[in-house]
Structures are given as structure tokens and as C-alpha cells.
Amino acid sequence: MEYTSLGRTGLQVSRLCLGTMNFGPYTSEEDSFAIMDRALEVGINFFDTANVYGRKLGEGVTEQIIGRWFAQGGGRREKVVLATKVYGKMGDWPNESRLSARHIKRACEASLRRLQTDWIDLYQMHHIDRNTPWEEIWQAMEQLVQEGKVIYVGSSNFAGWHIAQAQSTAAARHFMGLVSEQSLYNLTARTIELEVIPACQAYGLGLIPWSPLAGGLLAGALQKAQEGRRTEDWVQKRAEPLQNQLERYEQFCAGRGEHPAHVALAWLLHQPAVTAPIIGPRTLEQLDGSLRALEIKLSPEDLKALDEIWPGPGGQAPEAYAW
């Protein structure tokens, strides 16, 4: 396994991050335990979850599964760099969502109970809250850090100017602020190259891409549709407007003897701002397959060919659209 620093911190994380959103809704607890055990076995030490994962309002099903896995002992908690999130709706009563100081405090304590741990390594804001001032947010986060409940703070789904706003406010408070940003980023979705990635690089944030396979489109979607999988209608609907690009992409991968999903992950690993793409395996086989991405080396010519198939916005702003 390869490791790298999380942004400008000294924290070492694996180049692949284990996403756990499938644990509970699609992957049984027994299988989830097996996947997490296997992740540690192959050296993946970076796990990502969220308090809303599990599809049962307010229950934090996925966090509970991870907590019961930690409770088995064997150094599991100590080996894992644990990331979870706050913002999402955890109940029908007011103040059970978003980023008020009250909700941040209560949500963190609830996540700690479900996860059966004393601390969260990376506490991420799941979305920007435009109605809560940064002074309030940072005061709440600073308190959690002082209490030892949180070590680092990250963001998710922030715009570039949100990152700049957050960091300038944190600096005025002599607080470290954000160390990472978790964004939608894959070959089919490259908008963040305009301003989010430049902001991450300027402020020293690690980039953690979610949906690296574009919901399965980059995992051999055309082949799956032809094979008549149960997701055929869904795949065909998503793939239809991208038919030409997907054909070229899958031909590119076949010409190199690689699975499309592994090439998509490898492309992200070749992007200089990326810390670790999030893989969300439903099975052990999917987890093991993802490891191949670490071995794929894409040449400058390969990267150029992929840019031609999946063009980005043209670079960072403002040069991408002006001069």
C-alpha cells in the first residue's frame, strides 16, 4: 500500500480510502466486517463514513456497524484514520441538521457513541451551511478539538470560495481550519478543476474524491448493459448520452488490458491534488479489484488520450474561460 500526507498535515493515509456508505443498506454487517478486516490486511488505513449513512433517519446505521467492528478489539481502532461527517438531517425536530454550534456538538457526541470511540480523526462538514456564520462553526469545532474528540476538520461539497472564506476566518482565530475537501470528481465530472482544486492546493487541503466511478458508468457500463444485468435500464439511461465517449473509453482500457474501473481510479491517483479516492466496495472481490489501480502507471500520452475522451473544463479559472 502507498501512503501520503493528508493535505498539509503530518497525518499519513492510504492512497485508497474505504468508503462505507454501502454498509447496512447493501452490504450485511458480516460482510462489512470482512471488508474492513481485509482493508486493514492490505494496508488501507483511511475509512470514511457519515452519520446519515444507513438510510434510517437518525439511527446512524453505518456508524453503528463500524462501532461494533471496532469493539472487537485487536487494534482495529488504533490502526484506522477515521473520518465521519456532520450536517445531514438526523431527526424531524429543529436543530437536528446543518452546522449550528448546538448541532455540531450533539452530532459529534452521538457519532462517538455509535462508533464506540473516544475520538474522530477527521470530522467533515458534509455540505456548506450558508445560514451559520463561520465564527460559530469554528468556535464549535475548536471546542471539540480542545476536548480531544476531534483531531482534524475537513469539508465536503464546498465551492472554492467557501474554502477561502473558511480558511481566512480560521486564520483570524489562530485555528488550523480545514485540512481536506471531499468532492465529486471523476473522468466524467471535472468541474472542480476550475476553482476547488486550485483552492485546495493554495490552502494545503487534501482532496478526497467521491464517486470515482461516476456511479458505475466508468466500471464497464456498456458491457454490463449488454450482459443484461438487473441494473440494465438504469445503466442504459445514464449511459445513452455518453455512448460515444464510453465506447472510446472502454476501447482505451481494453487496449491496455485493464478494467475500466481500475483505470478510472488510476487516473485520479495521477492527479497531483488528490490524496485518496473513496472506493465503496459492496463485496470483498470489489475491494481486492480496486487495489489494481495502485499498480497502473499512466504515461503522459495515456493522460492526454483520456483528456481527449473526457475533456475537463480547460484548466483552472479564469484561464479556462477567459485569458
Residue 82, CA distances (Å) to 133, 189, 289 in order:
27, 26, 23
Coil, strand or helix at 58: coil
pLDDT value of position 240: 86
* Distance from the Cα of residue 204 to its chain's centroid: 17
Asked whether residue 238 is assigned to any structural domain, the reply reads: no
Asked whether residue 317 is assigned to any structural domain, the reply reads: no
Task: Determine if the pTM surpasses 0.85.
Answer: yes
pLDDT value of position 237: 82
pLDDT value of position 229: 43
- State how far the Cα of 61 lies from the Cα of 231, in Å rounded to an integer: 25
pLDDT value of position 232: 53
List the beta bridge partners of residue 208.
182
Coil, strand or helix at 40: helix
DSSP 8-state class, residue 186: B
Asked whether residue 280 is assigned to any structural domain, the reply reads: yes
pLDDT value of position 198: 98
Asked whether residue 245 is assigned to any structural domain, the reply reads: no
Report long-range pairs for 68-76 (Cβ below 8 Å, ≥24 apart). 68/29, 68/116, 69/32, 69/33, 69/36, 70/115, 70/116, 70/117, 71/116, 72/33, 76/36, 76/40
pLDDT value of position 238: 82
Asked whether residue 140 is assigned to any structural domain, the reply reads: yes
List the beta bridge partners of residue 181.
155, 207
Residue 59, CA distances (Å) to 27, 45, 107, 157 in order:
17, 25, 12, 23
Which set of grid coordinates corresponds to residue 3? Answer: 501512503
pLDDT value of position 122: 98
Asked whether residue 144 is assigned to any structural domain, the reply reads: yes
pLDDT tens across the length of the chain (323 residues)? 999 999 999 999 999 999 999 999 999 999 999 999 999 999 999 999 999 999 999 999 999 999 999 999 999 999 999 999 999 999 999 999 999 999 999 999 999 999 999 999 999 999 999 999 999 999 999 999 999 999 999 999 999 999 999 999 999 999 999 999 999 999 999 999 999 999 999 999 999 999 999 999 999 988 765 544 445 566 678 888 899 999 999 999 999 999 999 999 999 999 999 999 999 999 999 999 999 999 999 999 999 999 999 999 999 999 999 99
Q: Could you tell me the residue range of the domain that residue 267 belongs to?
A: 3-216+261-298
Asked whether residue 232 is assigned to any structural domain, the reply reads: no
Rounded to a whole number of angstroms, the CA Rg of the chain reads 20
Which set of grid coordinates corresponds to residue 25? Answer: 443498506
CATH number of the CATH domain containing 130: 3.20.20.100
Asked whether residue 59 is assigned to any structural domain, the reply reads: yes
Structural domains in the chain (count): 1
**24 Ramachandran zone, left/alpha/beta (phi>0; psi -120 to 50):** left
Q: How many CB atoms lie within 10 A of CB 275?
A: 24
53 is catalytic: yes
Coil, strand or helix at 43: coil
Of the residues 26, 53, 123, 185, only one is catalytic, namely: 53
